[in-house]
Amino acid sequence: MEILVDGKQVKLRYMKKPHIRNAYLRFKGDMLVVTARDERKAEQIIRENRKWIEKHYRSIRESRRLFDANSILFSGKRFVALLDKTARNSVETNSDVIIFRAKNEDSAERLLDRWLSERSISMVSDIVVSKAKEHCAEFRSIGICRGSRWGSCSSKKELKFNKYICMIPIDITEYVVAHELAHTHQLNHSRAFWDEVERMCPDYRTLRKELRSYDSYRRSVFRKLE
Protein backbone atom coordinates (compact mmCIF):
# COMPACT_ATOMS: atom_id res chain seq x y z
CA MET A 1 0.00 0.00 0.00
CA GLU A 2 1.06 3.58 -0.58
CA ILE A 3 -0.02 7.06 0.48
CA LEU A 4 0.64 10.42 -1.19
CA VAL A 5 2.69 12.68 1.10
CA ASP A 6 4.17 15.99 -0.04
CA GLY A 7 3.67 14.94 -3.65
CA LYS A 8 5.58 11.67 -3.12
CA GLN A 9 4.31 8.10 -2.96
CA VAL A 10 5.16 6.77 0.50
CA LYS A 11 4.92 3.10 1.44
CA LEU A 12 2.18 2.41 3.98
CA ARG A 13 2.01 -0.61 6.25
CA TYR A 14 -1.18 -1.38 8.16
CA MET A 15 -0.82 -3.46 11.31
CA LYS A 16 -4.17 -4.73 12.57
CA LYS A 17 -4.53 -5.23 16.33
CA PRO A 18 -8.24 -5.73 17.17
CA HIS A 19 -7.76 -5.43 20.92
CA ILE A 20 -6.09 -2.00 21.10
CA ARG A 21 -8.16 1.07 21.85
CA ASN A 22 -6.05 3.79 20.21
CA ALA A 23 -4.37 3.92 16.82
CA TYR A 24 -0.69 4.77 16.37
CA LEU A 25 1.51 6.28 13.64
CA ARG A 26 5.25 5.97 13.20
CA PHE A 27 7.83 6.07 10.45
CA LYS A 28 10.10 3.07 9.96
CA GLY A 29 12.72 4.44 7.63
CA ASP A 30 10.76 5.90 4.70
CA MET A 31 7.69 3.75 5.40
CA LEU A 32 4.66 4.94 7.39
CA VAL A 33 3.40 2.28 9.80
CA VAL A 34 -0.17 2.50 11.10
CA THR A 35 -1.30 0.33 14.00
CA ALA A 36 -5.05 0.21 14.58
CA ARG A 37 -7.90 -2.13 15.45
CA ASP A 38 -9.44 -1.86 11.97
CA GLU A 39 -9.01 -0.10 8.64
CA ARG A 40 -11.61 2.55 9.45
CA LYS A 41 -9.62 3.62 12.52
CA ALA A 42 -6.41 3.55 10.49
CA GLU A 43 -7.88 5.82 7.83
CA GLN A 44 -9.17 8.16 10.53
CA ILE A 45 -5.82 8.63 12.26
CA ILE A 46 -4.10 9.23 8.92
CA ARG A 47 -6.71 11.81 7.97
CA GLU A 48 -6.49 13.62 11.32
CA ASN A 49 -2.69 13.67 11.39
CA ARG A 50 -1.78 14.72 7.86
CA LYS A 51 0.27 17.70 9.08
CA TRP A 52 2.29 15.50 11.45
CA ILE A 53 2.89 12.94 8.69
CA GLU A 54 4.03 15.60 6.21
CA LYS A 55 6.28 17.31 8.76
CA HIS A 56 8.04 14.09 9.75
CA TYR A 57 8.37 12.86 6.17
CA ARG A 58 9.98 16.17 5.16
CA SER A 59 12.39 15.80 8.09
CA ILE A 60 13.34 12.30 6.96
CA ARG A 61 13.85 13.40 3.35
CA GLU A 62 15.95 16.36 4.47
CA SER A 63 18.21 14.21 6.63
CA ARG A 64 18.51 11.56 3.93
CA ARG A 65 19.78 14.21 1.51
CA LEU A 66 22.83 14.59 3.72
CA PHE A 67 23.92 11.09 2.78
CA ASP A 68 23.00 9.77 -0.65
CA ALA A 69 24.54 8.23 -3.75
CA ASN A 70 26.31 11.45 -4.68
CA SER A 71 27.61 13.09 -1.54
CA ILE A 72 28.67 12.58 2.05
CA LEU A 73 29.49 14.82 4.98
CA PHE A 74 32.96 14.48 6.51
CA SER A 75 34.30 16.80 9.23
CA GLY A 76 31.34 19.05 8.51
CA LYS A 77 32.28 19.48 4.85
CA ARG A 78 30.36 18.20 1.84
CA PHE A 79 32.28 15.77 -0.35
CA VAL A 80 31.26 14.30 -3.69
CA ALA A 81 31.09 10.50 -3.28
CA LEU A 82 32.12 8.42 -6.29
CA LEU A 83 32.11 4.65 -6.82
CA ASP A 84 34.91 3.12 -8.88
CA LYS A 85 34.15 -0.50 -9.83
CA THR A 86 37.46 -1.04 -11.61
CA ALA A 87 39.40 -1.61 -8.36
CA ARG A 88 38.64 -3.22 -5.02
CA ASN A 89 38.34 -2.17 -1.37
CA SER A 90 40.12 1.13 -1.08
CA VAL A 91 39.23 4.75 -0.38
CA GLU A 92 40.85 7.85 -1.84
CA THR A 93 40.16 11.42 -0.74
CA ASN A 94 41.15 14.80 -2.10
CA SER A 95 39.96 18.35 -1.52
CA ASP A 96 36.29 17.74 -2.32
CA VAL A 97 35.90 14.14 -3.59
CA ILE A 98 35.92 10.75 -1.86
CA ILE A 99 36.34 7.74 -4.18
CA PHE A 100 35.20 4.33 -2.95
CA ARG A 101 36.64 1.43 -4.92
CA ALA A 102 34.43 -1.63 -4.63
CA LYS A 103 32.75 -4.18 -6.91
CA ASN A 104 29.19 -2.88 -6.33
CA GLU A 105 27.05 -0.51 -4.28
CA ASP A 106 26.57 -2.93 -1.37
CA SER A 107 30.31 -3.49 -1.06
CA ALA A 108 30.87 0.26 -1.25
CA GLU A 109 28.47 0.86 1.64
CA ARG A 110 30.28 -1.72 3.78
CA LEU A 111 33.58 -0.12 2.83
CA LEU A 112 32.17 3.31 3.71
CA ASP A 113 30.93 2.05 7.07
CA ARG A 114 34.35 0.64 7.95
CA TRP A 115 36.18 3.72 6.67
CA LEU A 116 34.01 6.08 8.71
CA SER A 117 34.51 3.99 11.84
CA GLU A 118 38.29 4.00 11.38
CA ARG A 119 38.37 7.75 10.76
CA SER A 120 36.18 8.35 13.82
CA ILE A 121 38.35 6.40 16.26
CA SER A 122 41.53 7.99 14.91
CA MET A 123 40.13 11.52 15.01
CA VAL A 124 38.43 11.30 18.39
CA SER A 125 41.43 9.57 20.02
CA ASP A 126 43.70 12.47 19.10
CA ILE A 127 41.24 14.97 20.56
CA VAL A 128 40.70 12.97 23.76
CA VAL A 129 44.41 12.51 24.45
CA SER A 130 45.15 16.19 23.79
CA LYS A 131 42.25 17.56 25.84
CA ALA A 132 42.78 15.11 28.71
CA LYS A 133 46.44 16.11 28.96
CA GLU A 134 45.59 19.80 28.82
CA HIS A 135 42.93 19.58 31.54
CA CYS A 136 44.41 16.78 33.71
CA ALA A 137 41.51 14.41 33.04
CA GLU A 138 42.03 10.67 33.40
CA PHE A 139 40.30 8.01 31.32
CA ARG A 140 40.69 4.25 31.03
CA SER A 141 39.96 3.56 27.36
CA ILE A 142 38.57 4.99 24.11
CA GLY A 143 36.21 3.04 21.89
CA ILE A 144 33.59 3.29 19.17
CA CYS A 145 29.91 2.55 19.76
CA ARG A 146 26.81 2.01 17.66
CA GLY A 147 23.48 3.59 18.46
CA SER A 148 21.80 6.88 19.14
CA ARG A 149 24.31 8.70 21.34
CA TRP A 150 27.30 10.77 20.23
CA GLY A 151 29.30 9.66 23.24
CA SER A 152 29.26 8.00 26.65
CA CYS A 153 31.40 7.60 29.75
CA SER A 154 31.09 4.65 32.13
CA SER A 155 31.71 4.64 35.86
CA LYS A 156 35.05 2.99 35.04
CA LYS A 157 36.00 6.04 32.91
CA GLU A 158 35.67 4.10 29.66
CA LEU A 159 34.89 6.54 26.87
CA LYS A 160 32.93 5.57 23.77
CA PHE A 161 31.99 7.70 20.77
CA ASN A 162 29.59 7.25 17.89
CA LYS A 163 31.20 5.47 14.96
CA TYR A 164 30.02 8.25 12.60
CA ILE A 165 31.23 11.17 14.70
CA CYS A 166 33.88 11.99 12.07
CA MET A 167 31.08 13.33 9.87
CA ILE A 168 30.38 16.37 12.05
CA PRO A 169 32.60 19.48 12.34
CA ILE A 170 35.75 19.15 14.45
CA ASP A 171 34.80 21.90 16.90
CA ILE A 172 31.52 20.12 17.69
CA THR A 173 33.41 16.85 18.14
CA GLU A 174 35.65 18.66 20.61
CA TYR A 175 32.56 19.63 22.61
CA VAL A 176 31.40 15.98 22.66
CA VAL A 177 34.84 14.95 23.93
CA ALA A 178 34.79 17.66 26.61
CA HIS A 179 31.32 16.49 27.67
CA GLU A 180 32.47 12.90 28.15
CA LEU A 181 35.76 13.83 29.80
CA ALA A 182 33.83 15.99 32.27
CA HIS A 183 31.94 12.84 33.23
CA THR A 184 35.22 11.34 34.46
CA HIS A 185 34.96 13.91 37.27
CA GLN A 186 31.18 14.24 37.53
CA LEU A 187 29.11 11.23 36.48
CA ASN A 188 25.93 13.34 36.34
CA HIS A 189 24.65 16.58 34.79
CA SER A 190 24.92 18.79 37.85
CA ARG A 191 26.04 22.41 37.89
CA ALA A 192 29.52 21.18 38.80
CA PHE A 193 29.50 18.99 35.69
CA TRP A 194 28.61 21.86 33.35
CA ASP A 195 31.27 24.03 35.01
CA GLU A 196 33.76 21.29 34.16
CA VAL A 197 32.53 21.18 30.54
CA GLU A 198 32.88 24.96 30.28
CA ARG A 199 36.43 24.77 31.64
CA MET A 200 37.35 22.38 28.83
CA CYS A 201 35.16 23.96 26.15
CA PRO A 202 34.22 27.63 26.79
CA ASP A 203 31.86 27.76 23.76
CA TYR A 204 29.99 24.59 24.75
CA ARG A 205 26.56 26.26 24.81
CA THR A 206 26.77 27.27 21.15
CA LEU A 207 28.34 23.98 20.06
CA ARG A 208 25.75 21.97 22.00
CA LYS A 209 22.95 23.69 20.06
CA GLU A 210 24.74 23.06 16.77
CA LEU A 211 25.18 19.38 17.67
CA ARG A 212 21.41 18.95 17.95
CA SER A 213 21.02 19.90 14.29
CA TYR A 214 22.99 16.75 13.38
CA ASP A 215 20.82 14.35 15.39
CA SER A 216 18.42 13.50 12.55
CA TYR A 217 21.45 13.13 10.26
CA ARG A 218 23.08 10.62 12.62
CA ARG A 219 19.87 8.61 12.86
CA SER A 220 19.41 8.51 9.07
CA VAL A 221 23.00 7.38 8.47
CA PHE A 222 22.69 4.78 11.21
CA ARG A 223 19.53 3.39 9.59
CA LYS A 224 21.18 3.30 6.17
CA LEU A 225 24.52 1.76 7.06
CA GLU A 226 23.76 -0.57 9.97
Residue 65 has pLDDT above 80, yes or no: no
Residue 64: the pLDDT is 44
Residue 68 has pLDDT above 60, yes or no: no
Residue 178: the pLDDT is 97
CATH 3.30.2010.10 maps onto the chain at 113-225
Give the tens place of pLDDT for each residue, 84-142: 887 778 888 888 888 888 887 778 778 888 898 999 999 999 999 999 999 999 999 99
Side-chain half-sphere of 14: how many Cα atoms within 13 Å?
16
Residue 155: the pLDDT is 94
Q: What gap in Å lies between CA 113 and CA 54, rounded to an integer? A: 30
Residue 105: the pLDDT is 74
**Burial environment of residue 136 by CB neighbours within 10 A (0 to 12, 13 to 18, 19 or more):** exposed
Quick one: average pLDDT of 163-181? Answer: 94
Q: Of the given ranges (29-33, 204-208, 216-220), which has the lowest mean pLDDT?
A: 216-220
Quick one: average pLDDT of 187-201? Answer: 96
> Beta strand pairing status for 158-162 and 141-145?
parallel
Give the pLDDT band of residue 63 (cuts 50, 70, 90): very low
Give the tens place of pLDDT for each residue, 15-40: 999 888 889 898 876 788 999 999 89
Q: Provide the whole-model pTM.
A: 0.66
Q: What is the mean pLDDT of the chain?
A: 86
Residue 226: the pLDDT is 46
Quick one: average pLDDT of 48-52? Answer: 90
DSSP, collapsed to helix, strand or coil, labels residue 217 as helix
Could you confirm whether domain 113-225 is CATH 1.10.357.10? no
Q: Which among 39, 68, 23, 33 is positioned nearest to 53, based on CA atoms? A: 33
Express as a percent the part of the chain with pLDDT over 90.
Answer: 44
DSSP bridge pairs for 82:
99
Q: Which among 103, 110, 145 is positioned nearest to 124, based on CA atoms? A: 145
DSSP, collapsed to helix, strand or coil, labels residue 6 as coil
Q: What gap in Å lies between CA 218 and CA 183, rounded to an integer? A: 23
Segment (H or E) for 92: strand 90-93
Give the pLDDT band of residue 194 (cuts 50, 70, 90): very high
Express as a percent the part of the chain with pLDDT over 70.
Answer: 89
Name, in order, each residue with C-beta under 8 angstroms of 166's C-beta and a sequence gap of 6 or more.
74, 75, 116, 119, 120, 123, 124, 173
